[in-house]
Structure 1
Amino acid sequence: MIDKSSPLPIYYQIEEQIKQQIVSGILEPGDMLRSEREYAEYYQVSRMTVRQAINNLVALGLIYKKKGSGTFVQEQKIEQALHGLTSFTEDMKTRGLEPSSHLIDFKIVPASQGIATELKIKEHTPVYEIKRIRLGDDVPIAIETNIIPANLVLGLTEEIVINSLYNYIENKLHLRIGNATQIIESATANKTEAELLEIEKQSPILLIERKTYLTDGTPLEIVKSSYRGDRYKFMININRT
Protein backbone atom coordinates (compact mmCIF):
# COMPACT_ATOMS: atom_id res chain seq x y z
CA MET A 1 0.00 0.00 0.00
CA ILE A 2 0.99 3.66 -0.23
CA ASP A 3 2.08 5.92 2.62
CA LYS A 4 -0.06 9.05 2.55
CA SER A 5 2.11 10.65 5.24
CA SER A 6 5.22 10.31 3.09
CA PRO A 7 6.75 13.42 1.46
CA LEU A 8 6.79 11.45 -1.80
CA PRO A 9 3.79 12.29 -4.02
CA ILE A 10 1.11 9.63 -4.00
CA TYR A 11 1.12 9.30 -7.79
CA TYR A 12 4.88 8.66 -7.64
CA GLN A 13 4.46 5.90 -5.04
CA ILE A 14 1.83 4.21 -7.23
CA GLU A 15 4.05 4.61 -10.28
CA GLU A 16 7.01 3.04 -8.47
CA GLN A 17 4.95 0.10 -7.21
CA ILE A 18 3.68 -0.72 -10.70
CA LYS A 19 7.18 -0.23 -12.13
CA GLN A 20 8.60 -2.68 -9.57
CA GLN A 21 5.96 -5.25 -10.51
CA ILE A 22 7.06 -4.95 -14.15
CA VAL A 23 10.79 -5.08 -13.38
CA SER A 24 10.40 -8.09 -11.07
CA GLY A 25 8.30 -9.98 -13.60
CA ILE A 26 5.09 -10.03 -11.58
CA LEU A 27 3.61 -8.14 -14.51
CA GLU A 28 4.91 -9.59 -17.79
CA PRO A 29 4.93 -8.13 -21.33
CA GLY A 30 1.41 -8.26 -22.73
CA ASP A 31 -0.29 -8.42 -19.31
CA MET A 32 -3.21 -6.05 -18.87
CA LEU A 33 -3.11 -3.65 -15.93
CA ARG A 34 -6.06 -2.91 -13.69
CA SER A 35 -8.32 -0.08 -14.79
CA GLU A 36 -7.87 3.42 -13.34
CA ARG A 37 -11.06 2.90 -11.34
CA GLU A 38 -9.77 -0.36 -9.86
CA TYR A 39 -6.43 1.19 -8.91
CA ALA A 40 -8.22 4.20 -7.39
CA GLU A 41 -10.39 1.91 -5.26
CA TYR A 42 -7.42 -0.25 -4.28
CA TYR A 43 -5.25 2.67 -3.18
CA GLN A 44 -8.17 4.78 -1.93
CA VAL A 45 -7.12 7.76 -4.07
CA SER A 46 -8.65 9.78 -6.90
CA ARG A 47 -8.64 8.51 -10.47
CA MET A 48 -6.74 11.66 -11.44
CA THR A 49 -3.87 10.61 -9.17
CA VAL A 50 -3.83 7.14 -10.72
CA ARG A 51 -3.99 8.63 -14.22
CA GLN A 52 -0.85 10.69 -13.57
CA ALA A 53 1.03 7.56 -12.47
CA ILE A 54 -0.18 5.64 -15.54
CA ASN A 55 0.70 8.45 -17.92
CA ASN A 56 4.21 8.65 -16.47
CA LEU A 57 4.70 4.92 -17.04
CA VAL A 58 3.45 5.29 -20.62
CA ALA A 59 5.97 8.12 -21.15
CA LEU A 60 8.73 5.84 -19.83
CA GLY A 61 7.75 3.20 -22.38
CA LEU A 62 6.93 0.58 -19.73
CA ILE A 63 3.23 0.32 -20.58
CA TYR A 64 0.94 1.35 -23.42
CA LYS A 65 -2.72 2.13 -23.84
CA LYS A 66 -4.84 0.39 -26.44
CA LYS A 67 -8.01 2.25 -27.26
CA GLY A 68 -11.10 0.33 -26.23
CA SER A 69 -9.07 -2.51 -24.69
CA GLY A 70 -7.08 -1.24 -21.71
CA THR A 71 -3.51 -0.65 -20.60
CA PHE A 72 -0.81 -3.28 -21.13
CA VAL A 73 2.79 -3.98 -20.19
CA GLN A 74 5.07 -3.06 -23.06
CA GLU A 75 7.32 -5.58 -24.78
CA GLN A 76 11.03 -4.86 -24.30
CA LYS A 77 12.41 -2.70 -27.11
CA ILE A 78 14.83 -4.23 -29.57
CA GLU A 79 18.13 -2.37 -29.34
CA GLN A 80 20.35 -1.89 -32.37
CA ALA A 81 23.89 -0.62 -31.95
CA LEU A 82 24.96 2.03 -34.44
CA HIS A 83 28.64 1.11 -34.50
CA GLY A 84 28.33 -1.59 -37.19
CA LEU A 85 26.48 -2.29 -40.43
CA THR A 86 24.18 -5.26 -39.98
CA SER A 87 21.09 -6.58 -41.70
CA PHE A 88 17.65 -6.83 -40.09
CA THR A 89 17.98 -10.62 -40.13
CA GLU A 90 21.30 -10.44 -38.28
CA ASP A 91 19.84 -7.99 -35.72
CA MET A 92 16.94 -10.28 -34.91
CA LYS A 93 19.04 -13.45 -34.63
CA THR A 94 21.53 -11.67 -32.36
CA ARG A 95 18.66 -10.95 -29.96
CA GLY A 96 17.24 -14.45 -30.08
CA LEU A 97 14.25 -13.50 -32.23
CA GLU A 98 13.12 -15.33 -35.35
CA PRO A 99 13.30 -12.96 -38.34
CA SER A 100 10.81 -13.13 -41.18
CA SER A 101 9.44 -10.92 -43.94
CA HIS A 102 6.13 -10.34 -45.61
CA LEU A 103 6.59 -9.16 -49.19
CA ILE A 104 4.31 -6.29 -50.16
CA ASP A 105 5.78 -5.42 -53.54
CA PHE A 106 8.62 -6.59 -55.78
CA LYS A 107 9.20 -5.03 -59.18
CA ILE A 108 11.76 -3.63 -61.60
CA VAL A 109 11.23 0.00 -62.58
CA PRO A 110 13.27 2.64 -64.46
CA ALA A 111 15.32 4.84 -62.13
CA SER A 112 14.05 8.38 -61.71
CA GLN A 113 16.51 11.22 -62.03
CA GLY A 114 16.82 11.55 -58.24
CA ILE A 115 17.35 7.83 -57.67
CA ALA A 116 19.83 7.65 -60.55
CA THR A 117 21.85 10.49 -59.06
CA GLU A 118 22.00 8.85 -55.63
CA LEU A 119 22.95 5.44 -57.02
CA LYS A 120 25.35 6.93 -59.58
CA ILE A 121 23.64 5.26 -62.53
CA LYS A 122 22.01 6.61 -65.66
CA GLU A 123 18.41 7.79 -65.54
CA HIS A 124 15.93 5.06 -66.57
CA THR A 125 18.42 2.31 -65.70
CA PRO A 126 16.43 -0.62 -64.22
CA VAL A 127 16.29 -0.84 -60.44
CA TYR A 128 14.60 -3.26 -58.08
CA GLU A 129 11.96 -1.72 -55.84
CA ILE A 130 11.30 -4.05 -52.93
CA LYS A 131 8.82 -3.32 -50.15
CA ARG A 132 8.60 -5.65 -47.15
CA ILE A 133 7.22 -5.82 -43.64
CA ARG A 134 10.03 -7.03 -41.37
CA LEU A 135 9.00 -9.14 -38.38
CA GLY A 136 10.65 -10.49 -35.24
CA ASP A 137 8.92 -13.53 -33.73
CA ASP A 138 5.97 -12.75 -36.06
CA VAL A 139 5.58 -9.23 -34.61
CA PRO A 140 5.76 -6.42 -37.22
CA ILE A 141 8.82 -4.28 -36.48
CA ALA A 142 9.36 -2.21 -39.62
CA ILE A 143 8.22 -1.39 -43.13
CA GLU A 144 11.24 -1.42 -45.41
CA THR A 145 11.68 -0.32 -49.03
CA ASN A 146 14.92 -1.18 -50.85
CA ILE A 147 15.96 0.32 -54.18
CA ILE A 148 18.82 -1.61 -55.80
CA PRO A 149 20.44 -1.38 -59.25
CA ALA A 150 19.27 -4.44 -61.20
CA ASN A 151 22.45 -4.54 -63.28
CA LEU A 152 24.56 -4.73 -60.11
CA VAL A 153 22.60 -7.29 -58.09
CA LEU A 154 21.63 -9.91 -60.65
CA GLY A 155 19.04 -12.63 -60.30
CA LEU A 156 16.93 -11.34 -57.41
CA THR A 157 13.64 -13.17 -56.94
CA GLU A 158 10.74 -12.86 -54.53
CA GLU A 159 11.94 -15.98 -52.71
CA ILE A 160 15.39 -14.46 -52.15
CA VAL A 161 14.17 -11.12 -50.82
CA ILE A 162 11.75 -12.79 -48.39
CA ASN A 163 14.83 -14.22 -46.70
CA SER A 164 18.15 -12.40 -46.17
CA LEU A 165 19.03 -10.03 -49.00
CA TYR A 166 22.52 -9.35 -47.66
CA ASN A 167 23.25 -13.07 -47.43
CA TYR A 168 22.48 -13.46 -51.15
CA ILE A 169 24.53 -10.40 -52.12
CA GLU A 170 27.60 -11.43 -50.13
CA ASN A 171 27.56 -15.22 -50.32
CA LYS A 172 26.02 -15.86 -53.75
CA LEU A 173 27.14 -12.84 -55.76
CA HIS A 174 30.33 -12.34 -53.72
CA LEU A 175 29.88 -8.56 -53.55
CA ARG A 176 31.57 -7.01 -50.52
CA ILE A 177 29.39 -4.60 -48.54
CA GLY A 178 31.50 -1.85 -47.03
CA ASN A 179 29.73 0.99 -45.28
CA ALA A 180 26.57 3.07 -45.15
CA THR A 181 25.28 6.51 -44.24
CA GLN A 182 22.10 6.62 -42.19
CA ILE A 183 19.66 9.35 -41.23
CA ILE A 184 17.15 8.82 -38.40
CA GLU A 185 14.23 11.09 -37.57
CA SER A 186 11.05 10.83 -35.53
CA ALA A 187 7.54 10.88 -36.98
CA THR A 188 4.04 9.58 -36.34
CA ALA A 189 2.42 6.71 -38.21
CA ASN A 190 0.01 7.51 -41.02
CA LYS A 191 -2.99 5.27 -41.72
CA THR A 192 -1.12 2.85 -44.00
CA GLU A 193 1.91 2.57 -41.70
CA ALA A 194 -0.36 2.01 -38.69
CA GLU A 195 -2.24 -0.80 -40.44
CA LEU A 196 0.92 -2.57 -41.64
CA LEU A 197 2.71 -2.24 -38.30
CA GLU A 198 -0.43 -3.08 -36.30
CA ILE A 199 -0.27 0.08 -34.19
CA GLU A 200 -2.56 3.02 -33.60
CA LYS A 201 -2.55 5.86 -36.12
CA GLN A 202 -0.27 8.72 -34.99
CA SER A 203 1.82 6.33 -32.89
CA PRO A 204 5.53 7.27 -32.75
CA ILE A 205 7.75 5.74 -35.42
CA LEU A 206 11.38 6.11 -36.48
CA LEU A 207 12.01 7.03 -40.12
CA ILE A 208 15.36 5.74 -41.30
CA GLU A 209 16.99 6.38 -44.65
CA ARG A 210 20.20 4.52 -45.43
CA LYS A 211 22.49 4.48 -48.42
CA THR A 212 24.77 1.43 -48.55
CA TYR A 213 28.03 1.13 -50.49
CA LEU A 214 30.28 -1.71 -51.58
CA THR A 215 33.89 -1.68 -50.42
CA ASP A 216 34.95 -0.08 -53.72
CA GLY A 217 32.55 2.84 -53.16
CA THR A 218 29.83 1.65 -55.57
CA PRO A 219 26.34 2.54 -54.26
CA LEU A 220 24.50 -0.71 -53.53
CA GLU A 221 21.09 0.39 -52.29
CA ILE A 222 18.83 3.05 -50.89
CA VAL A 223 16.74 1.83 -47.96
CA LYS A 224 13.78 3.70 -46.51
CA SER A 225 12.26 2.23 -43.35
CA SER A 226 9.54 3.01 -40.84
CA TYR A 227 10.26 1.38 -37.46
CA ARG A 228 7.81 1.03 -34.58
CA GLY A 229 8.87 3.48 -31.89
CA ASP A 230 7.51 1.20 -29.17
CA ARG A 231 9.57 -1.82 -30.28
CA TYR A 232 12.87 -0.44 -31.50
CA LYS A 233 15.62 1.81 -30.20
CA PHE A 234 19.16 2.67 -31.26
CA MET A 235 22.28 2.79 -29.14
CA ILE A 236 25.63 4.42 -29.89
CA ASN A 237 28.89 4.63 -27.97
CA ILE A 238 30.46 8.08 -28.20
CA ASN A 239 34.06 8.87 -27.34
CA ARG A 240 35.21 12.36 -26.45
CA THR A 241 37.83 13.52 -28.97
Structure 2
Amino acid sequence: MINKNSPLPIYYQLEEIIKEMIEKEELKPGDLIPSEREFSEKYEISRMTVRQAINSLVNDGYLLRKQGKGTYVARQKIEQTLKGLTSFSEDMKTRGMEPSTKLIDFNVIPSSNGIATKLAIEEGTLIYEVKRVRLADHIPMAYEVSYLPVDLVKGLNKEIVNGSLYEYIENILNMKIGHGTQVLEASIARKTESEILDIHEGAPVLMIQRYSYLEDGNPLEVVKSVYRADRYKFIIDMPRVK
Protein backbone atom coordinates (compact mmCIF):
# COMPACT_ATOMS: atom_id res chain seq x y z
CA MET A 1 0.00 0.00 0.00
CA ILE A 2 0.98 3.64 -0.33
CA ASN A 3 2.46 5.18 2.83
CA LYS A 4 1.92 8.93 2.57
CA ASN A 5 4.12 9.52 5.64
CA SER A 6 7.08 7.72 4.11
CA PRO A 7 10.12 9.75 2.99
CA LEU A 8 9.90 7.82 -0.31
CA PRO A 9 8.04 9.77 -3.04
CA ILE A 10 4.52 8.50 -3.66
CA TYR A 11 5.17 7.97 -7.39
CA TYR A 12 8.17 5.78 -6.51
CA GLN A 13 6.07 3.69 -4.12
CA LEU A 14 3.52 3.14 -6.89
CA GLU A 15 6.31 2.13 -9.27
CA GLU A 16 7.43 -0.53 -6.79
CA ILE A 17 3.86 -1.78 -6.37
CA ILE A 18 3.44 -2.19 -10.13
CA LYS A 19 6.85 -3.86 -10.51
CA GLU A 20 5.94 -6.30 -7.73
CA MET A 21 2.67 -7.10 -9.53
CA ILE A 22 4.71 -7.87 -12.67
CA GLU A 23 7.25 -10.00 -10.79
CA LYS A 24 4.48 -12.00 -9.09
CA GLU A 25 2.78 -12.36 -12.51
CA GLU A 26 -0.36 -10.66 -11.27
CA LEU A 27 0.27 -8.60 -14.41
CA LYS A 28 1.75 -10.63 -17.26
CA PRO A 29 3.45 -9.57 -20.51
CA GLY A 30 0.80 -8.26 -22.87
CA ASP A 31 -1.71 -7.44 -20.11
CA LEU A 32 -3.37 -4.03 -20.15
CA ILE A 33 -2.64 -2.30 -16.84
CA PRO A 34 -5.34 -0.48 -14.84
CA SER A 35 -6.10 3.07 -15.95
CA GLU A 36 -4.71 6.18 -14.27
CA ARG A 37 -8.16 6.77 -12.79
CA GLU A 38 -8.29 3.28 -11.29
CA PHE A 39 -4.86 3.62 -9.69
CA SER A 40 -5.76 7.10 -8.47
CA GLU A 41 -8.98 5.95 -6.80
CA LYS A 42 -7.52 2.75 -5.36
CA TYR A 43 -4.55 4.44 -3.66
CA GLU A 44 -6.15 7.86 -3.14
CA ILE A 45 -3.43 9.73 -5.00
CA SER A 46 -3.50 12.26 -7.83
CA ARG A 47 -3.62 11.16 -11.45
CA MET A 48 -0.54 13.31 -12.07
CA THR A 49 1.38 11.16 -9.57
CA VAL A 50 0.10 7.99 -11.24
CA ARG A 51 1.14 9.33 -14.64
CA GLN A 52 4.64 10.09 -13.31
CA ALA A 53 5.04 6.51 -12.06
CA ILE A 54 3.76 5.00 -15.29
CA ASN A 55 5.98 7.23 -17.44
CA SER A 56 8.99 6.13 -15.41
CA LEU A 57 8.12 2.44 -15.86
CA VAL A 58 7.65 2.98 -19.60
CA ASN A 59 11.10 4.60 -19.80
CA ASP A 60 12.61 1.70 -17.84
CA GLY A 61 11.06 -0.88 -20.18
CA TYR A 62 8.60 -2.45 -17.73
CA LEU A 63 5.57 -1.04 -19.52
CA LEU A 64 4.76 -0.34 -23.16
CA ARG A 65 2.45 2.48 -24.22
CA LYS A 66 0.42 1.93 -27.39
CA GLN A 67 -1.08 5.04 -28.95
CA GLY A 68 -4.85 5.04 -28.60
CA LYS A 69 -4.92 1.59 -26.96
CA GLY A 70 -3.48 2.03 -23.48
CA THR A 71 -0.45 0.86 -21.53
CA TYR A 72 0.60 -2.77 -21.44
CA VAL A 73 3.11 -4.90 -19.56
CA ALA A 74 6.21 -5.24 -21.74
CA ARG A 75 8.08 -8.45 -22.41
CA GLN A 76 10.76 -8.88 -19.78
CA LYS A 77 14.29 -7.92 -20.71
CA ILE A 78 16.80 -10.52 -21.81
CA GLU A 79 19.65 -10.78 -19.33
CA GLN A 80 23.18 -11.34 -20.56
CA THR A 81 25.97 -11.95 -18.09
CA LEU A 82 29.21 -10.30 -19.16
CA LYS A 83 31.25 -13.31 -18.21
CA GLY A 84 32.82 -14.96 -21.21
CA LEU A 85 32.63 -14.36 -24.96
CA THR A 86 29.60 -15.88 -26.67
CA SER A 87 27.78 -15.21 -29.91
CA PHE A 88 24.28 -13.74 -30.11
CA SER A 89 22.96 -17.03 -31.51
CA GLU A 90 24.44 -19.00 -28.61
CA ASP A 91 22.96 -16.57 -26.08
CA MET A 92 19.46 -16.84 -27.50
CA LYS A 93 19.54 -20.64 -27.82
CA THR A 94 20.51 -21.03 -24.14
CA ARG A 95 17.38 -19.02 -23.29
CA GLY A 96 15.16 -21.23 -25.41
CA MET A 97 14.63 -18.47 -27.96
CA GLU A 98 14.96 -18.74 -31.72
CA PRO A 99 17.81 -16.57 -33.02
CA SER A 100 17.69 -15.18 -36.54
CA THR A 101 19.47 -12.59 -38.63
CA LYS A 102 18.35 -10.02 -41.14
CA LEU A 103 21.21 -8.95 -43.39
CA ILE A 104 21.15 -5.23 -44.15
CA ASP A 105 24.38 -4.96 -46.14
CA PHE A 106 27.50 -6.97 -46.96
CA ASN A 107 30.54 -5.36 -48.59
CA VAL A 108 34.27 -5.71 -49.05
CA ILE A 109 35.86 -2.30 -48.45
CA PRO A 110 39.31 -0.79 -47.80
CA SER A 111 39.89 -0.40 -44.06
CA SER A 112 39.94 3.07 -42.54
CA ASN A 113 42.83 4.07 -40.32
CA GLY A 114 40.78 3.56 -37.14
CA ILE A 115 39.53 0.08 -38.01
CA ALA A 116 42.92 -0.95 -39.42
CA THR A 117 44.62 0.00 -36.17
CA LYS A 118 42.17 -2.08 -34.13
CA LEU A 119 42.60 -5.08 -36.46
CA ALA A 120 46.39 -4.70 -36.56
CA ILE A 121 46.45 -4.40 -40.37
CA GLU A 122 47.63 -1.70 -42.74
CA GLU A 123 45.23 1.07 -43.66
CA GLY A 124 43.49 0.24 -46.93
CA THR A 125 43.68 -3.52 -46.40
CA LEU A 126 40.45 -5.15 -47.55
CA ILE A 127 37.93 -5.97 -44.85
CA TYR A 128 34.39 -7.27 -44.70
CA GLU A 129 31.75 -4.79 -43.54
CA VAL A 130 28.68 -6.70 -42.36
CA LYS A 131 25.52 -4.89 -41.25
CA ARG A 132 22.94 -7.10 -39.58
CA VAL A 133 19.84 -6.99 -37.40
CA ARG A 134 19.84 -9.69 -34.74
CA LEU A 135 16.43 -11.05 -33.75
CA ALA A 136 15.11 -13.33 -31.01
CA ASP A 137 11.75 -14.99 -31.61
CA HIS A 138 11.39 -12.62 -34.58
CA ILE A 139 11.78 -9.49 -32.39
CA PRO A 140 14.62 -7.09 -33.33
CA MET A 141 17.13 -6.96 -30.47
CA ALA A 142 20.26 -5.37 -31.88
CA TYR A 143 21.72 -3.69 -34.94
CA GLU A 144 25.36 -4.53 -35.45
CA VAL A 145 28.11 -3.61 -37.87
CA SER A 146 31.08 -6.01 -37.99
CA TYR A 147 34.52 -5.56 -39.56
CA LEU A 148 36.76 -8.56 -40.26
CA PRO A 149 39.95 -8.93 -42.34
CA VAL A 150 39.33 -10.62 -45.70
CA ASP A 151 42.72 -12.38 -45.62
CA LEU A 152 41.95 -13.88 -42.22
CA VAL A 153 38.30 -14.89 -42.52
CA LYS A 154 38.34 -16.48 -45.95
CA GLY A 155 35.26 -17.33 -48.00
CA LEU A 156 32.76 -15.19 -46.09
CA ASN A 157 29.56 -14.51 -48.02
CA LYS A 158 25.97 -13.34 -47.54
CA GLU A 159 24.65 -16.83 -46.86
CA ILE A 160 27.15 -17.43 -44.06
CA VAL A 161 26.59 -14.10 -42.29
CA ASN A 162 22.86 -14.77 -42.26
CA GLY A 163 23.66 -17.40 -39.65
CA SER A 164 26.21 -17.58 -36.85
CA LEU A 165 29.53 -16.03 -37.82
CA TYR A 166 31.32 -17.60 -34.85
CA GLU A 167 30.17 -21.10 -35.84
CA TYR A 168 31.64 -20.59 -39.32
CA ILE A 169 34.94 -19.28 -37.95
CA GLU A 170 35.39 -22.08 -35.41
CA ASN A 171 33.74 -25.07 -37.11
CA ILE A 172 34.53 -24.45 -40.78
CA LEU A 173 37.72 -22.39 -40.71
CA ASN A 174 38.96 -24.21 -37.58
CA MET A 175 40.13 -21.02 -35.90
CA LYS A 176 39.76 -20.76 -32.13
CA ILE A 177 38.37 -17.56 -30.68
CA GLY A 178 40.27 -16.69 -27.52
CA HIS A 179 38.76 -13.65 -25.85
CA GLY A 180 37.05 -10.32 -26.37
CA THR A 181 36.78 -6.86 -24.87
CA GLN A 182 33.50 -4.95 -24.73
CA VAL A 183 32.89 -1.26 -24.10
CA LEU A 184 29.32 -0.26 -23.11
CA GLU A 185 27.77 3.20 -23.33
CA ALA A 186 24.27 4.58 -22.90
CA SER A 187 22.85 6.44 -25.89
CA ILE A 188 19.63 7.21 -27.75
CA ALA A 189 18.40 5.79 -31.04
CA ARG A 190 18.99 7.84 -34.15
CA LYS A 191 16.53 7.80 -37.03
CA THR A 192 18.09 4.88 -38.93
CA GLU A 193 18.53 2.79 -35.78
CA SER A 194 14.97 3.45 -34.63
CA GLU A 195 13.59 2.31 -38.00
CA ILE A 196 15.71 -0.84 -38.02
CA LEU A 197 14.95 -1.81 -34.41
CA ASP A 198 11.28 -0.78 -34.50
CA ILE A 199 11.59 1.73 -31.65
CA HIS A 200 10.96 5.44 -31.35
CA GLU A 201 13.66 7.87 -32.43
CA GLY A 202 15.36 9.05 -29.24
CA ALA A 203 14.52 5.85 -27.33
CA PRO A 204 17.27 4.67 -24.94
CA VAL A 205 19.74 2.17 -26.39
CA LEU A 206 22.95 0.45 -25.32
CA MET A 207 25.95 1.12 -27.55
CA ILE A 208 28.53 -1.66 -27.45
CA GLN A 209 31.90 -1.95 -29.13
CA ARG A 210 33.48 -5.40 -29.06
CA TYR A 211 37.00 -6.36 -30.03
CA SER A 212 37.49 -10.12 -30.47
CA TYR A 213 40.78 -11.99 -30.68
CA LEU A 214 41.90 -15.46 -31.70
CA GLU A 215 43.68 -17.75 -29.24
CA ASP A 216 47.05 -16.68 -30.69
CA GLY A 217 46.23 -13.05 -29.87
CA ASN A 218 45.55 -11.87 -33.44
CA PRO A 219 42.59 -9.45 -33.74
CA LEU A 220 39.59 -11.11 -35.39
CA GLU A 221 36.84 -8.51 -35.54
CA VAL A 222 35.57 -5.12 -34.50
CA VAL A 223 31.82 -4.99 -33.85
CA LYS A 224 29.73 -1.90 -33.21
CA SER A 225 26.27 -2.78 -31.86
CA VAL A 226 23.15 -0.92 -30.82
CA TYR A 227 20.95 -2.89 -28.41
CA ARG A 228 17.38 -2.04 -27.47
CA ALA A 229 17.47 -0.91 -23.84
CA ASP A 230 13.83 -1.93 -23.40
CA ARG A 231 14.60 -5.56 -24.30
CA TYR A 232 18.15 -6.14 -23.09
CA LYS A 233 20.15 -5.71 -19.92
CA PHE A 234 23.69 -6.74 -19.04
CA ILE A 235 24.80 -8.20 -15.72
CA ILE A 236 28.37 -8.02 -14.45
CA ASP A 237 29.66 -10.29 -11.68
CA MET A 238 32.27 -8.32 -9.75
CA PRO A 239 34.34 -10.20 -7.15
CA ARG A 240 35.76 -8.16 -4.28
CA VAL A 241 39.21 -6.81 -5.10
CA LYS A 242 41.57 -6.79 -2.13
TM-score normalised by structure 2 residue count: 0.89
Q: For 2:13 and 2:214, how far apart are their aligned partners in 1?
A: 54
Q: For 1:121 and 1:221, how far apart are their aligned partners in 2?
A: 12
- The residue aligned with 1:224 is 224
Structure 1, 28-37 or 119-128: larger mean CA deviation = 28-37
Task: For residue 91 of structure 2, give the secondary structure of its aligned residue in structure 1.
Answer: helix
Deviation string, structure 1 residues 92-125 (Cα, Å, up to 9, x no partner)? 1111111000000011111122222221112222
Structure 1 residues 10, 177: CA separation in 2 closer, same or farther (over 3 Å shift)?
closer
Q: Which amino acid in 1 is paired with 2:172?
A: K
Check the 8 A contact 2:2/2:43 in 1, yes or no.
no
- The residue aligned with 1:101 is 101
**Per-residue deviation, 1:33:** 1.7
**Per-residue deviation, 1:51:** 1.6
**Per-residue deviation, 1:173:** 0.2
Q: Which amino acid in 1 is paired with 2:143?
A: I
Structure 1 residues 128, 169: CA separation in 2 closer, same or farther (over 3 Å shift)?
same
Q: For 2:2 and 2:226, how far apart are their aligned partners in 1?
A: 44
Structure 1 residues 51, 209: CA separation in 2 closer, same or farther (over 3 Å shift)?
same
Task: For residue 239 of structure 1, give the secondary structure of its aligned residue in structure 2.
Answer: coil
Deviation string, structure 1 residues 185-237 (Cα, Å, up to 9, x no partner)? 00001111111111111111000001111111111100000000111111111
Q: RMSD in angstroms over aligned alpha carbons?
A: 2.2
Check the 8 A contact 2:102/2:133 in 1, yes or no.
yes
Are 2:152 and 1:152 aligned? yes
Q: Which amino acid in 2 is paired with 1:28?
A: K
What is the count of residue pairs matched by the alignment? 239
Check the 8 A contact 2:61/2:231 in 1, yes or no.
no
- The residue aligned with 1:73 is 73
Structure 1, 56-65 or 223-232: larger mean CA deviation = 56-65
Deviation string, structure 1 residues 42-75 (Cα, Å, up to 9, x no partner)? 5554311322332343455422334444322121
- The residue aligned with 1:84 is 84
Deviation string, structure 1 residues 148-176 (Cα, Å, up to 9, x no partner)? 00111111111111110000000000011
Which 5+ residue runs of structure 2 have no aligned equivalent? Answer: none
Identity of aligned residues (%): 56
**Per-residue deviation, 1:10:** 5.9
Task: For residue 131 of structure 2, give the secondary structure of its aligned residue in structure 1.
Answer: strand
Are 2:143 and 1:121 aligned? no
**Per-residue deviation, 1:11:** 4.7
Q: Which amino acid in 2 is paired with 1:200?
A: H
Q: For 2:172 and 2:159, how far apart are their aligned partners in 1?
A: 14
Structure 1 residues 45, 163: CA separation in 2 closer, same or farther (over 3 Å shift)?
same
Structure 1, 41-50 or 221-230: larger mean CA deviation = 41-50
Listed as ranges, the matches of 1:184-195 within 5 Å are 184-195=184-195
Q: For 1:193 and 1:55, how far apart are their aligned partners in 2?
A: 23
Q: For 2:186 and 2:13, how far apart are their aligned partners in 1?
A: 32
